[in-house]
Amino acid sequence: MKNLYLPLLVLAFLLAACGGDPAPVTPTENNDAQAASETTDADHGHEEEDEDHEHDQAEDNHSATDGLNIDHFFDGALAETPEIVDCTLSDGTATSCYSITVVGYPVNHDVGPFCPTTTAATADDVGIWLDGEAIYDVDGAFILSLAEIYGDDNWQLYDDDGNVNVTESVEAFEAAARPDVDPAYQNHCVEGRMEWLPDGNPVPTTALIPVAPVSADNAQSAGNLGITLNGVVIANAAPVDAILSAYTIAAFDDCGGHINPIDGYHLHGARGCSEVGDAAEGETPIFAYAMDGYAIHSPLPTDEALDDCGGHTTDALGYHYHASPAAENAVLPCLTGFTVSTGNAEGRGGDGNRPEGDNAGGRGGRPDFAAAAEALGVTEDALVDALGGPPPNFEAAAETLGVSIEDLQAAMGGGPGGGRQQGGGGGG
């Protein structure tokens, strides 16, 4: 009888172990470089959190190792404990998503510097400028060379004494950061400061990211592209043409981020400032997650074959992205997976929303998209999709919607809290 009871006891133990409740999702500091760099099935065991979802999460994914690992985030990068919530992707897939709120500033390095104060400033004193083709130190030599670099003698960001025109107040910053840059702040280096944000606080952003990424047949566009492991939103490309046409330079810091009045500090270029862990041979470290749930690694130093969105699949890591070179002013050109659908109750387009509360509205609040859409005679979803961003592209949106830029800006508010603060000019 002893031999009969022993297998039964072992079987009972195994059944009990398999039936336990899943562990809560909790952000943790990851100081073990090796652990941070490894991606295993266990890391992404949340994929089967809810068996009742309509989509079979084991299908249509690039690899079983794909997915977000909360443990990769720096300590303090998340404003609150992530939750897993129901969500709907833009293809109609009902699934589960992480609701993740990043703090809105890099927890592992200082923000800035940005603009020079004089034409004698060196690279050590300033940030950088990314114009889609090159990276420039925004030093005195750069300021003096702007007319030559861009072939336009109207560039003059400095006075006869060599002092550089810099936005030095919140009023100047907001006037220079709007799509229709105030003429008084043309020929300025636009510099935002954290203390100029609502109540002087960073702007946290809540993103909904699929627990199990769902790949699409075609490249997908997005507003915000992802979140970094050190607590920052990755924005779409800054509107370089609009910035330069107003004779402004919206300087970035050396990590490729800068500040606008609505979104606070956000990233436009991957500069290695939020990397975690070591990289396998032929790879680069992870530094972020895209809004579709796939990991984003630093740019590859070689001409490795990547897909149109900068991704590829390896045995160790599954499908993941590699950021574009920072000079291109776009961390990723597109996404290969579906994000949360526009107008979903938990978020807008998977772009990431500012949480409700004291800091939710910025100066004057978030634009009223519903009212603007009604005024323009379009749907709210059509308006949001056309604007893109942040920052929004008003010229492209007006063409898409078949309205004038003036009507679009008027519908969006035009004043504080309206479209002008979205950073289509110098704010980026």
DSSP state letters, 226-295: EEETTS-EE-----HHHHHHTTEEE-B-TTSEEEETTTEEEESS--STT-BS---TT---EEEEETTS-E
Is 413 contained in some domain? no
Is 196 contained in some domain? yes
**What integer pLDDT is reported at residue 273 of this predicted model?**
97
Is 357 contained in some domain? yes
**What integer pLDDT is reported at residue 133 of this predicted model?**
95
Which residue, chain included where needed, has tokens 């943790």? 28
Is 136 contained in some domain? yes
Overall average pLDDT of the 187-209 stretch: 94
Quick one: pLDDT band at residue 234, thresholds 50, 70, 90?
Answer: very high
Q: Which helix (H) or strand (E) holds 216?
A: strand 215-220
Is 423 contained in some domain? no
Is 422 contained in some domain? no
Is 341 contained in some domain? yes
Is 119 contained in some domain? yes
pTM: 0.71
Whether residue 403 is predicted with pLDDT greater than 60 in this model: the reply is: yes
**What integer pLDDT is reported at residue 408 of this predicted model?**
80
The domain of 115 spans 23-363
Q: Give the total number of structural domains in the chain.
A: 1
Least confident of 83-87, 121-125, 163-167, 235-239: 235-239
pLDDT tens digits, 27-52: 333 333 333 333 333 333 333 333 33
Higher pLDDT among residues 128 and 4, named by residue: 128
Quick one: pLDDT band at residue 378, thresholds 50, 70, 90?
Answer: confident
Least confident of 211-225, 257-271, 380-394, 399-413: 380-394
pLDDT tens digits, 88-129: 999 999 999 999 999 999 999 999 999 999 999 999 999 999
In three-state secondary structure terms, 86 is strand
CA dihedral sign of residues 233, 234, 236, 242: positive
Mean residue pLDDT of the chain comes to 78
Least confident of 72-76, 179-183, 385-389: 385-389
**What integer pLDDT is reported at residue 46 of this predicted model?**
34
> How crowded is the C-beta side of 404, counted as CA atoms within 13 Å?
3
**What integer pLDDT is reported at residue 225 of this predicted model?**
95
